[in-house]
Amino acid sequence: MGKSVLIVDDSLFIRNILRGILEENSYTVIGEAASGIDAMKKLHFEKPDIILLDIILPDSNGLDLLESIIKTKPHSQVVICSSIGTEPMIQKTLDMGAKAFIQKPFTPEHVAEVLSRLES
């Protein structure tokens, strides 16, 4: 069984695409969340190896959520997956503790490459 992943994105379309990419690459999707509140509820019970996190969520700022996840789930590797891919934003998320940044729109190959780098 591959590493476990929680997908946090308000777009069902993006969650479905990411799920397909992850499953094709032997990752196990243990949950999906469409909001920050939903993500924190799931993280109360789940211990994913990797969390794919969008910055723009309907009920919270992904950066605040990132900070909270780093404090409460330090073993999880957080990968930001967002369309806000400006250099300052990418650097800020990495400085806050994210392990990588995937720019939307993405290709399946790029997602697989980023996740593969996390394991090395």
Task: Write down all domains in the chain, each with its CATH number in brackets.
Answer: 4-119 (3.40.50.2300)
Whether the pLDDT of residue 13 is over 70: the answer is: yes
Q: What is the pLDDT of residue 2?
A: 85
Residue with token string 């369309």: 83
Whole-structure pTM value: 0.96
Instruction: Report the pLDDT averaged over residues 11-20.
Output: 98
Confidence of residue 59 (pLDDT cuts 50, 70, 90): very high
Q: How far is CA 11 from CA 1, 21, 22, 73, 96, in A?
A: 26, 16, 16, 24, 24
Q: What is the pLDDT of residue 15?
A: 98
Whether the pLDDT of residue 1 is over 80: the answer is: no
